[in-house]
Amino acid sequence: MTHSWRTDRRKTSERGYGWKWQQARAAFLSRPENVLCRYCERQGRITPANVVDHIQPHKGDQRLFWQRSNWQPLCKACHDSAKQAEEKSGVCAIGVDGWPVNS
Ligand SMILES: [Zn+2]
């Protein structure tokens, strides 16, 4: 029997995310200017944002990671499609569950 989920959780918290990020992310997305997906908005679509994306890849840089001017609200669909290419080059984004999306 494996306990891989425990290992995964521990690894995630060791990376410095977790409760603090959950709070910051929720506060960011609840601001009036951040409730809509920025990519959809540009295309004239109204879609609620549920992902906080780092505009400039932080690559583990804590200062850049927590810099709110570097955050943008996206919907899951935009995040998965538009940012996919960037993620392949090492960008770490945050998923709907609040945890970094890393493959
Ligand atoms: Zn969108």
Model pLDDT for residues 77-89, shown as the tens digit of each residue:
998 886 565 555 5
The pLDDT assigned to 18 comes to 83
Q: Is residue 40 part of a domain?
A: yes
In this predicted structure, the answer to whether residue 73 has a pLDDT above a threshold of 80 is yes
Provide the number of structural domains found in the chain: 1
What range defines the domain where residue 36 resides?
15-102
The pLDDT assigned to 2 comes to 46
The alpha carbon of 15 and the centre of ligand 1 are apart by a number of angstroms equal to 27
The pLDDT assigned to 80 comes to 86
The alpha carbon of 84 and the centre of ligand 1 are apart by a number of angstroms equal to 13
The alpha carbon of 95 and the centre of ligand 1 are apart by a number of angstroms equal to 13
The highest-confidence range among 20-24, 30-34, 54-58, 95-99, by mean pLDDT, is 30-34
Is the pTM higher than 0.75? The answer reads no
Q: Is residue 80 part of a domain?
A: yes
Rounded CA separation 43/41 (Å): 5
Task: Answer whether 24's CB lies under 8 Å from 54's CB.
Answer: no
Strands (E), the chain: 51-54, 71-74, 93-94, 100-101
Rounded CA separation 38/90 (Å): 22
Mean pLDDT in the chain?
79
The alpha carbon of 50 and the centre of ligand 1 are apart by a number of angstroms equal to 9
In this predicted structure, the answer to whether residue 16 has a pLDDT above a threshold of 80 is no
The alpha carbon of 79 and the centre of ligand 1 are apart by a number of angstroms equal to 7
In this predicted structure, the answer to whether residue 15 has a pLDDT above a threshold of 50 is yes
The alpha carbon of 38 and the centre of ligand 1 are apart by a number of angstroms equal to 7
The alpha carbon of 7 and the centre of ligand 1 are apart by a number of angstroms equal to 32
Q: Is residue 7 part of a domain?
A: no
In this structure, which long-range contacts are made by residues 39-42, counting pairs with CB atoms below 8 Å and at least 24 apart in sequence? 39/74, 39/75, 39/78, 39/82, 40/75, 40/78
Q: Is residue 69 part of a domain?
A: yes
Average pLDDT score over residue span 28-41: 96
Phi, psi (deg, nearest 5) at residue 46: -105, 105
Q: Is residue 3 part of a domain?
A: no
